[in-house]
Amino acid sequence: MAIFTGAGVAIVTPFNENMEVNYDKLGELLDYQIENGTDSIIICGTTGEASTLTHEEHLECIRYTVDKVNKRIPVIAGTGSNSTDTAIYLSKEAEKYGADGLLLVTPYYNKATQKGLTEHFTDIAGEVDIPIILYNVPSRTGCNLLPKTVAGLVKDVDNIVGIKEASGSISQVAGLMQLTQGDIDLYSGNDDQIVPLLSLGGIGVISVLSNIAPKATHDIVLNYLNGNVKLSCRQQLEYLPLIDALFCEVNPIPVKKAMNLMGFNVGGLRKPLTDMEPENTEKLVKEIKARGLNLI
């Protein structure tokens, strides 16, 4: 059984003025997402600035989220690392806290071979019992998790059950689904490719867009899975300009800007991320308004 079907939000990590994690605000965001139809919370992913959190902050964000959500919807903890030992440590702790699943990004910077990736994920999976979603995002990691490697992992490791695919290559995803005979939970890792990946057998998206438009993102998936493909496609295309604006600078710079403009008050970004350029902010504001979303 899949950890979730539908739209999971890759939730931002809000900060106070002193750049400490704002847990009260995080709690508000979690309630907002659940109230607006989000199907799963993904905490401490790329959008959550996990790479600039200390291990203590990282684990406290997971613990807090699991407790606050309180089984209302599944919580998936981002616990990947470029160090296998670190990923094992974070994953075991997340399981202790009660996370429903793990999201494991491919090791970044090291650029492991396919053999290395197989051993990395197999070793982590062997230390936990909860289900694992692999995360393939070669544009960030410099490492592409190939379909043959994924197919072997899904076949040989019981608790590796899914993949967040953000390679951007529809051909690669098609090859993956052919090799696995669809026996994998496929999630789009790109908001502009939700419908294309659903058409190849996907069951949802792990979304940045959901931070500011949770119901719309949920509905794109739900309508497709309910057989209303034309409506789903129309909604996907309707939101494409906003999605483009949310990725005109590196994520999560634009989405945090959008949330602050919309009154969510999620704070700033930890360096080396910096505030959005004015000309890009203008584009973002235009697309937020065009979708009928509220600005303060």
Among all residues, which ones are annotated catalytic?
Answer: 135, 164
User: Cα separations (Å) of 16 from 19, 260, 265?
Assistant: 5, 13, 9
Q: Residue 43: which H helix or E strand, with range?
A: strand 40-43
**Nearest alpha-carbon partner for 144 in 112, 122, 175:** 112
User: Can you tell me whether residue 94 is helix, strand or coil?
Assistant: helix
In whole angstroms, give the CA distance from residue 134 to residue 4.
14
Residue 254 near residue 246, CB atoms below 8 Å: yes
Q: In this structure, what token pair is assigned to residue 291?
A: 């979708």
Q: Residue 197: which H helix or E strand, with range?
A: helix 194-199
**Exposed e or buried b per residue across 8-17, where buried means at least 16 C-beta atoms within 10 angstroms of its C-beta:** bbbbbbbbee
Q: Which amino acid is at 183?
A: D
Residue 245 near residue 282, CB atoms below 8 Å: no
Burial class (CB in 10 A: 0-12, 13-18, 19+), 27: middle
